[in-house]
Amino acid sequence: MLVHYPYNNLGGADHGWLKSKHHFSFANYYNPKRMGFGKLRVVNDDWIKAGSGFPPHPHQNMEIISYIRSGAITHRDSEGNKGVTKAGVIQVMSAGKGIVHSEYNLEQSDLSFYQIWIETDQYNIQPRWESSDFPTQASSTGLSLLVSGFAEDYKNALFINQQARIFGGVIKSASEIEHPITHQAYVLAAGGNFTISTQNQQVQMSQGDGAEVTKTKFITIKAQSDSEIVIIDAPR
């Protein structure tokens, strides 16, 4: 089953320095029908003005993933971790028993990224942070595995404490791929235009859209242009 959420129908906020579209209830945006999607709790499509950012603030017992679409974000936290995550790099923070971090755009250009929260399956553990590059060249064969909580994926993806996987990358124009679904999936159109199909449904995706995928073992993606796509496959 496919349920399409167009970009213009999403909740959001505009703080001047921060503009955000919320796929699920977050902060001052509340929609009782959009409280998450299984273990996936937050997907924010954020834009941050150059020289701005989030001052130090706490998190606890959540897996927080940042997928950078353009620009770069500077991370610092109370565990002593620090790093600059740019477009083409993904970062993961397991908040564990508690961590305080800041995220700033210290660059000369604006920043856009997805902020993704997935509920943990390991509580009050030692916090951790890491980042890794991912392929940015358009592909006609499939999306790269970026993040996983499955032991068999540890050598190929950043680790999170949940039986979930995140895939991402750019599918080349006019390409068609089949993508397997383990649990249920939330698909993000980071750029371009493409369709998602199951055996009996199809939805048209444009930049900024989201879509829920349930009750199927795979989807077919057809790219009408070079299309940047993120797929979050997480338990119910």
Q: Tell me if the pTM is above 0.95.
A: yes
Domains and CATH numbers, the chain: 2-234 (2.60.120.10)
pLDDT per position as a tens digit, 81-116: 999 999 989 999 999 999 999 999 999 999 999 999
For residue 135, the model assigns a pLDDT of 81
Number of other residues whose CB lies within 10 A of the CB of residue 227? 25
Q: How large is the greatest C-alpha to C-alpha distance in the chain, in angstroms?
A: 50
Cβ neighbours of residue 122 closer than 8 Å, sequence gap 6 or more: 96, 161
Contact 203, 213 (CB under 8 A): no
Render pLDDT for 134-148 as a digit per residue (tens, 0 to 9): 888 899 999 999 999
Instruction: Look up residue 44 and give its two tokens.
Output: 């924010």
> Which stretches of the chain score pLDDT less than 50?
none
pLDDT of residue 58: 97
